[in-house]
């Protein structure tokens, strides 16, 4: 192995070279991005083959570098086609994504500027814009002016951070905090909530749902029947369940939570986007009473990954739980009286608002900015229309399903998820249909279960999904 030449300061040339802008690499990467952004339609692509991927990557990373061209070429020809395009209008599994071009382009600005949003001291400009974006969501939900929070990596991180605040706040308030708290949930709650409760050492009070919807009366009945309701510290309601897009009885749950002194967390990771639409806004009545709320813009608000909004009614409660204390961080918590003019050329500083204080993180990408840019460029009306496109295509799908004798619609879609059955099919038949659809690049639709039975499930949110795509998919089930 040859030793890299050293400069007089002891820095090697290859180390310096990593910081020199290579115009050819720049052009190559930009032209890849240009082509991907312009792809219409986006190719759905295919699942990866482990052996082929391993062979392609074998020995790639070695002591000496390689030409950017060869590495990018490997990515473009071997790796990218083995990632199913979640932003394709034919991706209707799980919860898809459909980032706007403006948000994708601004994501590049965030990357190229290494924009972080950890503390006000370091990143006031980024944080101010993120907070403006959180305010739009808080206003749509009807939360009070003092509500606030931060963007985290996803709904899972949001749920975990919020439930940590619920647990610790209850512990501080109670004269005799429960040894092990519990959280009321229905069995439709997202898997990330169940996981968060396990990680936080919290147990569940399982509330029987009414036709798959968690209701205030169900919650009250469960609390009244429970032997130790004092252990229950919070309730998690879902505004848009992942399997069927059902919005829980938020108003009823809010009222019972208020009466029993429970923290009211609303997981609107998928469904929160519906707040933009007056057509369905009424379903969310009661969301304004949330103590904490999670909405994922990387789902139905057309932002790139990874972007979830976590908003608290009283952010101070979250700050008391999540602030990391260390001598080297002290400076980030100094208020404006300490950062006076003598420190900083006449600059004044407000009460420092550090997004790091509102979730279990410290360093964080300014991940709210791509949404901020796109919202400011397109305006909220365009967002309303894009959300309503998802609601509308779900209604089209429901009526197309009703027209086909071999299919059975399982419930009227409340938001943009449609569940239905192909009469007579087993789980294995759904799975082979999924594989066939993908192999023919018609769509990516995975099965789920409903009341114990295997079903098909379509999750819409891409404004580019047309009735023709829906009909094409449904016709393959004949
Ligand atoms: C209702 C709900 N909550 C939480 C999550 C988890 O979000 P993430 O995948 O961003 O962690 C999801 C994901 O689909 C969801 O639908």
Per-residue DSSP letter, 263: E
Question: Mean pLDDT across the chain, nearest whole number?
Answer: 94
Query: pLDDT for 332-375, tens place per residue?
Result: 998 654 444 444 444 444 568 999 999 999 999 999 999 999 99
Q: Check whether the bond before 306 is cis (ω within 30° of 0).
A: yes
Relative to the CA of 153, which ligand 1 atom is closest? 10
Query: pLDDT for 146-194, tens place per residue?
Result: 999 999 999 999 999 999 999 999 877 777 667 789 999 999 999 999 9
Nearest by Cα to 245 from 296, 195, 200, 188: 188
Distance from residue 223's CA to the centre of ligand 1 (Å): 27
Q: What are phi and psi of 408, to 5 degrees?
A: -135, 120
Distance from residue 398's CA to the centre of ligand 1 (Å): 24
Ligand 1 pocket residue status of 192, Cβ below 6 Å: yes
Ligand 1 pocket residue status of 186, Cβ below 6 Å: no
Whether the predicted pLDDT of 66 surpasses 90:
yes
Relative to the CA of 268, which ligand 1 atom is closest? 1
Within 10 Å of residue 314's Cβ, how many Cβ atoms? Answer: 16
Q: How far apart are CA 222 and CA 37, in angstroms?
A: 51
Helices (H), 113-154: 120-141
How far are the Cα atoms of 163, 351, 441 from residue 358, in angstroms, in the given order? 12, 15, 42
Mutate to test the pocket of ligand 1, among 196, 270, 272, 417 (most ligand atoms within 8 A of CB): 270
Residue with CA closest to ligand 1 atom 10: 154
**Helix (H, G, I), strand (E, B), or coil: what is residue 152?**
strand
Nearest by Cα to 157 from 271, 307, 286, 29: 307
Q: How far apart are CA 396 and CA 349, in angstroms?
A: 53
User: Which range among 18-32, 274-288, 340-354, 462-476 shows the weakest confidence by mean pLDDT?
Assistant: 340-354
Q: Which two tokens mark 332?
A: 């980030």
Q: How far apart are CA 284 and CA 268, in angstroms?
A: 10
Distance from residue 270's CA to the centre of ligand 1 (Å): 6
Residue with CA closest to ligand 1 atom 16: 242
How far are the Cα atoms of 48, 51, 244, 466 from residue 89, in angstroms, in the given order? 20, 29, 19, 8
Whether the predicted pLDDT of 6 surpasses 90:
no
Distance from residue 457's CA to the centre of ligand 1 (Å): 16
Angle between helices 369-378 and 380-402 (to 10 degrees): 90
User: What is the structure's pLDDT at 343?
Assistant: 45
Ligand 1 pocket residue status of 248, Cβ below 6 Å: no
Distance from residue 162's CA to the centre of ligand 1 (Å): 14
Residue with CA closest to ligand 1 atom 4: 155
User: What is the structure's pLDDT at 118?
Assistant: 97
Ligand 1 pocket residue status of 238, Cβ below 6 Å: yes
Mutate to test the pocket of ligand 1, among 95, 196, 214, 309 (most ligand atoms within 8 A of CB): 95
Query: pLDDT for 367-421, tens place per residue?
Result: 999 999 999 999 999 999 999 999 999 999 999 999 999 999 999 999 999 999 9
Within 10 Å of residue 54's Cβ, how many Cβ atoms? Answer: 10
One-character DSSP codes across 285-329: TTGGG-SEEEE-HHHHT---SS-EEEEESSHHHHHHHH----GGG
**Region 108-112: what's the mean pLDDT?**
98
Q: Which residues contact 118 (CB under 8 A, 6 or more apart)?
A: 332, 354, 355, 356, 362, 363, 364
Distance from residue 68's CA to the centre of ligand 1 (Å): 36
On whether the CB atoms of residues 318 and 165 are closer than 8 A, the answer is yes
What residues are paired with 450 via a beta bridge?
453
Q: How far apart are CA 269 and CA 162, in angstroms?
A: 13
Residue with CA closest to ligand 1 atom 5: 155
Ligand 1 pocket residue status of 156, Cβ below 6 Å: yes
Q: Which two tokens mark 156?
A: 């899972």
Q: Which two tokens mark 17?
A: 């070279």
User: What is the structure's pLDDT at 284?
Assistant: 98
Distance from residue 155's CA to the centre of ligand 1 (Å): 5
Q: Which two tokens mark 107?
A: 């994501």
Q: Check whether the bond before 41 is cis (ω within 30° of 0).
A: yes
Whether the predicted pLDDT of 56 surpasses 80:
yes
């Amino acid at each position: 192995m040859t030793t890299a030449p050293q400069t007089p300061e002891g820095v090697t040339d290859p180390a310096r070279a990593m910081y020199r802008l290579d115009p050819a690499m720049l052009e190559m990467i930009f032209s890849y991005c240009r082509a991907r952004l312009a792809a219409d339609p986006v190719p759905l692509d295919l699942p990866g083959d482990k052996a082929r991927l391993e062979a392609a990557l074998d020995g790639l990373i070695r002591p000496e570098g390689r030409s950017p061209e060869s590495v990018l070429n490997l990515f473009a020809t071997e790796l990218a086609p083995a990632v199913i395009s979640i932003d394709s209008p034919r991706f209707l599994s799980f919860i898809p994504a459909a980032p706007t071009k403006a948000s994708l382009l601004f994501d590049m600005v965030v990357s190229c500027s290494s924009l972080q949003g950890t503390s006000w001291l370091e990143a006031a400009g980024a944080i101010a814009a993120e907070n403006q974006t959180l305010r739009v969501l808080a206003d749509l939900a009807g939360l009070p002016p003092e509500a606030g929070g931060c963007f985290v990596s996803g709904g899972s991180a949001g749920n975990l951070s919020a439930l940590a605040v619920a647990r610790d706040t209850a512990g501080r308030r109670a004269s005799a905090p429960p040894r092990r708290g519990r959280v009321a949930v229905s069995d439709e709650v997202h898997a990330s909530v169940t996981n968060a409760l396990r990680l936080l050492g919290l147990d569940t009070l399982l509330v029987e749902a009414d036709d798959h919807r968690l209701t205030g009366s169900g919650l009250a009945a469960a609390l009244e029947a429970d032997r130790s309701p004092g252990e229950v510290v919070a309730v998690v309601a879902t505004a848009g369940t992942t399997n069927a897009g059902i919005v829980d009885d938020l108003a009823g749950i809010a009222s019972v939570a208020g009466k029993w002194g429970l923290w009211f967390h609303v997981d609107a990771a998928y469904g929160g986007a519906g707040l933009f639409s007056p057509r369905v806004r009424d379903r969310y009545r009661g969301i304004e009473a949330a103590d904490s709320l999670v909405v994922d813009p990387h789902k139905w608000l057309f932002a790139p990954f990874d972007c979830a909004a976590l908003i608290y009614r009283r952010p101070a409660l979250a700050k008391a739980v999540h602030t990391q204390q260390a001598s080297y961080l002290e400076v980030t918590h100094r208020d404006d009286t300490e950062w006076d003019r003598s420190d900083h050329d006449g600059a004044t500083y407000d009460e420092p608002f550090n997004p790091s204080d509102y979730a279990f993180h410290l360093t964080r990408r300014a991940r709210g900015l791509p949404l901020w840019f796109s919202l400011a460029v397109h305006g909220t009306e365009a967002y309303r229309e894009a959300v309503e496109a998802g609601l509308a295509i779900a209604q089209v799908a429901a009526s197309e399903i009703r027209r086909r004798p071999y299919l059975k619609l399982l419930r009227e879609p409340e938001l943009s998820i449609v569940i239905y059955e192909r009469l007579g099919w087993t789980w294995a038949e759904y799975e082979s249909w999924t594989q066939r659809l993908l192999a023919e690049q018609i769509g990516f639709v995975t099965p789920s279960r409903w009341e114990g039975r295997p079903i098909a499930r379509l999750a819409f949110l891409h404004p580019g999904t047309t009735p023709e795509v829906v009909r094409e998919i449904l016709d393959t089930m004949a």
